[in-house]
Amino acid sequence: MACPPLTRRTVTEAPAPPSPPSPTIPPGAQLPDRDGHRVWWCEGGDPAGRPVLIVHGGPGGSTRAEPAGWFTGLPVRWLAIDQRGCGRSEPAGETRCNRLPDLIDDMERLRQSLGLERWALVGGSWGARVALSYALRHPSRVEGLFLRSPFLATVDETRRYITPWRDWLGEEGRASLGESLVSAVHTLYHDGTESFTPETVSAIDAAVLSDAVTRAWAAFDEAQSAAGGLVAKSARWRETGLSEASPALKAAWAVHAHHALRGWGALDGLPTGVLLPRLAAGAPVQLVWGEDDATCDPAGARALGEALTAAGLAVRADAVPGAGHRMGDSRLAAALRAAAPDWIGRLAQRDPGPAAVSA
């Protein structure tokens, strides 16, 4: 059977409607305790609409209002979940029993608890890796994928991200943090799990516990998320510009580093690189990424789109010139709002009603 062609567009000015107000994230609820984790989730939108699960990024992120806003006014019942140790889930920053397979299991627990036969998945950055990993494990439960700036978890990708780290710190920043902690963060992204030794892990654990490194990493990551990243901005570390690390930031960095030490799921049996879940032939996939993304390599998004197309899925890919990694980048945000109704419409063409509810 011939593969459907990859529909790839370069979005210059996304034909998006004016941005609607972002939905308010409701109080939500928690799944029953498992492994000492109380995982938070919520839902909104049209209760009779198509179930769509929003998977946040990070690792260490949390549910945000923007993705739900892409579906405002559409027949979508959106659901969201804060991953273990993240956001509103408890305990914050907990890394025990916190592996990528555990996150997939929590998503499946949520689906079963709601009595949903199938749903579609929305994920950005690390959330795209989690969504693809879920689809790899549970392909019959996934109607389609909407992936923003996907993270493929390859060593080449993380090396590209961390390359400006030492130059950004400069002599002053390296002296302030200390070379051992500077090297620990560099190693975390650059060397890959195959080269990690007990000494390496110990040094990285010390970096995780360091308030100074937490603040510096957050500032570095924020700068890399802008269009073109640090190379374009020529930004530099400034001690006076770093606010005290909040408990939420410390928890986020702890979870982030923990998943990095586990190879972003590779040590837990999930491969890195392009993942090809066995979804139904022609299942709608939407990819959107910024061409000036310094965090997740645009080449990875292109490779993913081509591979999913070759696997028989109906892929549309929007590359946004001048956009970086930030979800709130005006160019990227416009492209995402424009792509969402098209993707929902393609899901409806395959199945006019929402996913069936299990008896």
In a domain, 198, yes or no: yes
Q: What percent of the chain has pLDDT over 90?
A: 80
Same-domain check for residues 243 and 326: no
Q: Specify whether the CB–CB gap between 70 and 16 falls below 8 A.
A: no
pLDDT digits (tens, 9 = 90+) for 94-140: 999 999 999 999 999 999 999 999 999 999 999 999 999 999 999 99
Domain termination site, one of 218, 245, 265: 265
> Residue 357 domain-assigned?
no
* Residue 2 placed within a domain: no
β-bridge pairing 40-45 and 76-81: antiparallel
Give the 3-state secondary structure of residue 338: helix
Q: Which residue would you say has higher pLDDT here, 58 or 196?
A: 58
pLDDT of residue 359: 34
pLDDT at 285 over 60: yes
The model's pLDDT over 72-97, given as tens digits with 9 standing for 90+, comes to: 999 999 999 999 999 999 999 999 99
Q: How far apart are CA 203 and CA 322, in angstroms?
A: 37
Cα angle 351, 353, 357; round to 5: 105
Residues 143 and 279 in one domain: yes
Asked if 138 and 278 sit in the same domain, the reply is yes
Same domain, 11 and 147: yes
Are 296 and 147 part of one and the same domain?
yes
| Span 345-358, pLDDT tens digits | 999 998 877 654 44
pLDDT tens digit sequence for 2-39: 556 777 667 655 445 556 666 889 999 999 999 999 99
237 within some domain? yes
Please, which residues bridge with residue 37 across strands?
34
| Ramachandran sector of residue 90 (left: φ over 0; alpha: ψ -120 to 50; beta: rest) | beta
Out of 265, 294, 322, pick the residue that ends a domain. 265
**Pair 283, 140 in one domain:** yes
CB 202 within 8 A of CB 194: no
Q: How far is CA 32 from CA 22, 96, 106, 206, 238, in A?
A: 29, 17, 10, 32, 44
Residue 319, strand partner residues:
10, 289
pLDDT of residue 358: 45
Asked whether residue 117 is assigned to any structural domain, the reply reads yes
Q: Residues 6 or more apart from 114 whose CB is under 8 A from it?
A: 51, 79
Q: Are residues 146 and 285 in the same domain?
A: yes
Q: Give the domain-ending residue among 236, 265, 294.
A: 265
The domain tally of the chain equals: 2
Q: Is residue 166 part of a domain?
A: yes
State whether 36 and 123 are in the same domain.
Answer: yes
Q: Return d(Cα 14, Cα 43) in angstroms, integer.
A: 28
Residue 234 has pLDDT above 80, yes or no: no
The verdict on residue 32 lying in a domain is yes
Residues 287 and 215 in one domain: no
- Residue type (1 letter), 332: L
Cα-to-chain-centroid distance, residue 256: 12
> What is the CATH classification number for the domain harbouring 32?
3.40.50.1820
Whether 198 and 222 map to the same domain: the answer is yes
Determine the structural domain holding residue 180 and report its residue range: 155-265
pTM > 0.75: yes or no: yes
Q: What average pLDDT is seen over the chain? A: 92
Q: Name which of 259, 330, 298 is nearest 61 in CA terms.
A: 259
Pair 290, 227: CB distance under 8 Å: yes
- 120 with 109, same domain: the answer is yes
Residue identified by tokens 């409701």 is 26
Is 358 among the domain residues?
no
DSSP H or E run through 119: strand 119-124
> Tokens 């998006």 label which residue?
16
Burial classification of residue 336, based on how many CB atoms lie within 10 Å of its CB (0-12 exposed, 13-18 middle, 19 or more buried) = buried
Residues 163 and 251 in one domain: yes
